[in-house]
Amino acid sequence: MPLKSIVVAACYFLLLGLMNAPAWADVPANGSTTAPVVNAQFRIAPVSDAWRASVPRDADAATAAYLNRLSPAIVARADAYFEGGYWLQLWNFLTGLVISTLLLAGRRSARLRDWAARVGRRAFLRDALYGGAYALASFVLSFPLTVYQGFVREHAYGMATQGFAPWFGEQLIGLALSMLLGGFAIAALYAAIRRAGAQWWIWGTSVTVSLLVIMLLIGPVLIDPLFNDYKPVENPEVKTAVLALARADGVPVDNIYEFDASRQTTRISANVSGIFGSAAVRLNDNLLRRTSLPEIRAVMGHELGHYVLNHIYKMIAEFTLLIAAAFLFAQWAMRRLLQTHGQALGLHGVADVASLPLLAAVFSVFLFLATPVTNTLVRTQEIEADRFGLNLAREPHGAAEAFLKLTEYRKPSPGPLEEWIFFDHPSTRFRIHDAMRWREAMGSP
Q: Which residues bind Zn ion (CB under 5 A)?
A: 382, 385
Residues 6+ positions from 221 with CB-CB distance below 8 Å:
none
Please identify, using beta-carbon distances, which residue of 112 and 385 lies nearer to Zn ion.
Answer: 385
Least Cβ distance, residue 289 to Zn ion (angstroms): 20
Cα 247 from chain centroid (whole Å): 29
d(C-alpha 256, C-alpha 234), whole Å: 9
Please identify, using beta-carbon distances, which residue of 253 and 350 lies nearer to Zn ion.
Answer: 253
- Return the exposure string of 329-340: e unless at least 16 CB atoms fall within 10 Å of the residue's CB, then b: bbbebbeebbee
Least Cβ distance, residue 160 to Zn ion (angstroms): 23
- Phi/psi of residue 232, each to 5°? -60, 145
Please identify, using beta-carbon distances, which residue of 382 and 408 lies nearer to Zn ion.
Answer: 382
Least Cβ distance, residue 404 to Zn ion (angstroms): 17
Please identify, using beta-carbon distances, which residue of 71 and 375 lies nearer to Zn ion.
Answer: 375
Please identify, using beta-carbon distances, which residue of 385 and 435 lies nearer to Zn ion.
Answer: 385
d(C-alpha 154, C-alpha 423), whole Å: 19
Least Cβ distance, residue 382 to Zn ion (angstroms): 5
Least Cβ distance, residue 314 to Zn ion (angstroms): 13
Please identify, using beta-carbon distances, which residue of 382 and 434 lies nearer to Zn ion.
Answer: 382
**Residue 296 and residue 288 in contact, taking contact as beta carbons nearer than 8 Å:** yes
Least Cβ distance, residue 305 to Zn ion (angstroms): 8
**Strand (E) or helix (H) holding 19:** helix 3-20
CA distances from 105 to 2, 32, 138, 207 (A): 11, 41, 15, 28
Least Cβ distance, residue 300 to Zn ion (angstroms): 11
Please identify, using beta-carbon distances, which residue of 120 and 220 lies nearer to Zn ion.
Answer: 220
d(C-alpha 66, C-alpha 229), whole Å: 35
Q: Which of 299, 439, 404 is nearest to 68 (CA)?
A: 404
